[in-house]
Chains A and B, each alone.
Chain A
Amino acid sequence: MSATDTSSRVSRFRSAVAEGWTRERFGVLGALALILITFAPPFQVYLFTDFLVVSLFALGFNLLYGYTGLLSFGHGLFYAGGAYGIAIVLRDLGPMIADIVGTGISPLVTFMIGGVVGLVLVIIVAVPVGWLSVRLQEIYFALITLAFGMLGYSLIIQDPAGLTNGTDGVIVLLGTVDLGGTSLRIGGRRIYYVISTITVVAATYGVWRIVNSPFGTICKAIRESPDRAAALGIDASHHRWMTFIISAAVVGIAGVLRAGLASVASPGLTHWSTSAIAVIATVIGGATYFYGPFVGAFIFLYIRWAISRFPALEAYWELFFGALLIAVVLFFKQGAVGGLLLLRDRVLGNNDDSDPGGRENTVDPGEQASAASDHEDEPGNDNMATDRGDDT
């Protein structure tokens, strides 16, 4: 069944082109692109940073949705958790940290401590929230996470502990690092882009490792059939809980970056409409693909930007987006990545799997159902039959 069966030159040329896109070359090109963007106009640098942060937000969300099969409508809670964690550290502990490490590098140290505090805060919140939520499935899971997100929203606005500054949120001042004469403003667009890129690339690599680990394999099994997984000795509920915490932590890192980018940690981050951004970006990009959230976030942010270039249309950008979402849900069940891969297969005229994007091997069940039911002419079926015949 492999591509080598076909001997025509054309197909060999095509597969050579396809194989040219190795993971290494893709990586090098990606790194070059990321470096080139530092030379872009400031607004474009800002927009691209925004894209990276939203991507990481959606990537963390998708660990739970695309990989484990749980649709959370409350991941804004962890986005906000990371953002408020760093914002409060910057506001309340900045001077203290400056006393200890000296004013020169204190903004950077404060930023890093704030990031860690944001991450720890998110994990502390995610442990009980996840434990309660994973007991439910499907729509009930979506609803309970939505409820936790909105609970967080209310708490942040009402501010019972006097930490979150109500509806105004906490202003984030990242400060300037002074290294023997060279001063670097952390909040500067290019510097912040570099910090975000390094963080997002590292976090993405971490998530990639997780989804390709034994842990991630079990996540996919639970997505496909939780009771089957349990019948093989897997504590599905516990595994979901662990995935929930990891997913929240990744979203928390995105939240930390969001605070610095927006210069404010605001209650809106935990509103359901923010949680929905992760859902929409993932669905548009393709939840079954590792890079789906990136593609979805890219489409989301750049279409919004493109529409904003036409002031007459800007007020209706959500309408455009709604239409796009409907189109994707109706016609591209595998999202934009699925559509692109389909296009690639059409253009290259092959079906091989040597793609660079770390594509997942899930296939649209709807499209395959007809093929599966028509099993008389499956080559594998005949092979198996003859094998068995030989054995007995």
Chain B
Amino acid sequence: MTTVLKTDDLRKQFGELTAVDNVSIEIDDDKITSIIGPNGAGKTTFYNLLTGVLQPTGGSIWLRSGDQNELTDVTDAEPHEVAQAGLSRSYQITNIFEGLTVRENVRVARISHEGTRLDFRSRATGDESVEADIEEILELTGLTDIADTPCDTLSHGEKRTVEIALALAIEPNVFLMDEPTAGMNPTEVTEIVSLIRELDADLDATFVVTEHNMDVVTDISDRIVVLAEGAILADGTPQDVLADERVTEAYLGSDSV
């Protein structure tokens, strides 16, 4: 067991409002961790802090970068620096390169990973090892059949899968999945859950998931962290957390349904 992501007293304030309140958490590489909480609990802000989209008011963020054993301080890093350091994310509202094909989407991520983005002399499709890597990722995520389809013609479920393929293609140490089943029908949910399971088994990346669908959460998580009003309310195995009265109270007492 190794810690791949750690926050120390992470804090974010918007004026008077404390969106994330001294959150200290360690994510281990041998578990799928879910971060849940009622609407307004600070999940999104927490994600935005981790990914460098927002700068914290206080505290620090540490990430396992590449093969290093020591954690790297990424508290003040820009989003692209966080990604380069080994943290990848998927979005709640699908955020992929809609105008490009599935294969091109993955190619973008591979070019970034290979560090060849400023190469304007070679052909984008000319590197055989990159193309083989793309193929592998497409196969892993079951996208091979639709590889050359423009993303804006894909179904919602397929787009969500491209979202995952993109995030994985940069070979992250930590993969933050923001609501992977958002907007999906039950069949698609079943598919994506089994995909997440497979990927977690096949890959080195450590999965961290936020999710509204409690069935999915209990199904895939080894550990659940509950955020409420910006702070950690409960932290433990799914059984323990769901049995916790404070958790039930936080959910029922909030505006969320």
Chain A interfacial positions (CB closer than 8 Å to B): 209-210, 212-218, 220-221, 223-225, 227-236, 239, 242, 246, 288, 361-363, 365, 368-369, 371-372, 375, 378, 380-381, 383-385, 387-388, 391-392
Residues of A within 8 A of B145 (CB): 380, 383-384, 387
Whether B40 is near chain A, meaning CB under 8 Å from some CB there, is no
Q: Say yes or no: A363-B99 contact (C-beta < 8 A), given A221-B108, A232-B166, A233-B113.
A: yes
Report the interface size for chain B: residues with CB under 8 A from the other chain: 57
Assess the A378–B155 pair: CB atoms within 8 A.
yes
Residues 45-85 of B, flagged 1 when their CB comes within 8 A of A and 0 if not, give 00000010100000000000000000000000011100110
CB distance from A275 to the nearest CB of B (A): 25
Residues of B within 8 A of A371 (CB): 153
Assess the B112–A388 pair: CB atoms within 8 A.
no
Assess the A368–B153 pair: CB atoms within 8 A.
yes
Residue of A232, A365, A392 with most partner-chain B CB within 10 A:
A232
Residue from B83, B89, B111, B149 within 8 A of A218 (CB atoms): B111
Residues of A within 8 A of B206 (CB): none
Q: Say yes or no: A384-B142 contact (C-beta < 8 A), given A221-B97, A231-B88.
A: yes
Residues of A within 8 A of B89 (CB): 231
Residues of B within 8 A of A383 (CB): 145-146
Residue of A371, A380, A381, A384 with most partner-chain B CB within 10 A:
A384
Q: Say yes or no: A228-B95 contact (C-beta < 8 A), given A233-B113, A391-B198.
A: yes
Q: For the complex, give the distance between the alpha carbons of A229 and B166 in Å.
A: 10
Listed by A's residue number, 12 A-B pairs whose Cβ atoms lie within 8 Å are: A214-B122, A215-B119, A217-B124, A228-B96, A231-B79, A232-B83, A232-B88, A361-B99, A362-B100, A375-B158, A378-B155, A381-B155
Residue of B80, B111, B157, B194 with most partner-chain A CB within 10 A:
B80
Whether B243 is near chain A, meaning CB under 8 Å from some CB there, is no
Q: Which residue of A lies closest to B85 (CB)?
A: A233
Residue from A246, A362, A381 within 8 A of B99 (CB atoms): A362
Q: For the complex, give the distance between the alpha carbons of A236 and B167 in Å.
A: 17
Residue from A218, A225, A368 within 8 A of B95 (CB atoms): A225
CB distance from A137 to the nearest CB of B (A): 15
CB distance from A380 to the nearest CB of B (A): 4
CB distance from A232 to the nearest CB of B (A): 5
Whether B154 is near chain A, meaning CB under 8 Å from some CB there, is yes
Q: Say yes or no: A218-B142 contact (C-beta < 8 A), given A229-B108, A231-B83.
A: no
Residues of B within 8 A of A387 (CB): 142, 145
Interface residues of B in 112-159 (CB under 8 A from A): 112-113, 116-124, 142-143, 145-146, 149-150, 152-158
Q: Say yes or no: A233-B112 contact (C-beta < 8 A), given A213-B119, A216-B124.
A: yes
Q: For the complex, give the distance between the alpha carbons of A217 and B104 in Å.
A: 8
Q: List 7 additional A-B contacts (Cβ < 8 Å) besides A232-B83, A378-B154, A383-B145.
A: A210-B120, A214-B116, A220-B104, A228-B96, A231-B89, A231-B167, A368-B153
CB distance from B184 to the nearest CB of A (A): 11
Residue from B101, B111, B121 within 8 A of A361 (CB atoms): B101
Q: For the complex, give the distance between the alpha carbons of A381 and B155 in Å.
A: 7
Q: For the complex, give the distance between the alpha carbons of A383 and B121 in Å.
A: 37
CB distance from B164 to the nearest CB of A (A): 13
CB distance from A107 to the nearest CB of B (A): 33
Assess the A225–B195 pair: CB atoms within 8 A.
no
Assess the B112–A232 pair: CB atoms within 8 A.
yes
Q: Say yes or no: A217-B111 contact (C-beta < 8 A), given A361-B101, A363-B150, A368-B153.
A: yes
Q: Say yes or no: A220-B111 contact (C-beta < 8 A), given A213-B120, A214-B120.
A: no
Residues of A within 8 A of B153 (CB): 363, 368, 371-372
Q: For the complex, give the distance between the alpha carbons of A236 and B166 in Å.
A: 17
Q: For the complex, give the distance between the alpha carbons of A361 and B98 in Å.
A: 10
Residue from B79, B100, B118, B167 within 8 A of A220 (CB atoms): B100
Residue from A209, A212, A288, A385 within 8 A of B187 (CB atoms): A385
Q: Which residue of A lies closest to B130 (CB)?
A: A214
Q: Which residue of B lies closest to A378 (CB)?
A: B155
Residue from B101, B108, B123 within 8 A of A232 (CB atoms): B108
Q: Which residue of B lies closest to A367 (CB)?
A: B152
Whether B223 is near chain A, meaning CB under 8 Å from some CB there, is no
Assess the A365–B98 pair: CB atoms within 8 A.
yes
Residues of B within 8 A of A215 (CB): 117-120
Residues of B within 8 A of A242 (CB): 118
Assess the B158–A380 pair: CB atoms within 8 A.
yes
Whether B107 is near chain A, meaning CB under 8 Å from some CB there, is yes
Q: Which residue of A lies closest to B152 (CB)?
A: A368
Assess the B152–A225 pair: CB atoms within 8 A.
no
Residues of B within 8 A of A221 (CB): 97, 100, 105, 108
Assess the A223–B79 pair: CB atoms within 8 A.
no
Residue from A214, A217, A223, A381 within 8 A of B158 (CB atoms): A381
Q: For the complex, give the distance between the alpha carbons of A235 and B119 in Å.
A: 14
CB distance from A16 to the nearest CB of B (A): 22
Residues of B within 8 A of A225 (CB): 95-98
Assess the B146–A380 pair: CB atoms within 8 A.
yes
Residues of A within 8 A of B191 (CB): 384-385, 388
Assess the A381–B119 pair: CB atoms within 8 A.
no
Q: Which residue of A lies closest to B111 (CB)?
A: A214
Assess the B108–A217 pair: CB atoms within 8 A.
yes
CB distance from B30 to the nearest CB of A (A): 22
Residues of B within 8 A of A231 (CB): 51, 79-80, 83, 88-89, 91, 95, 167
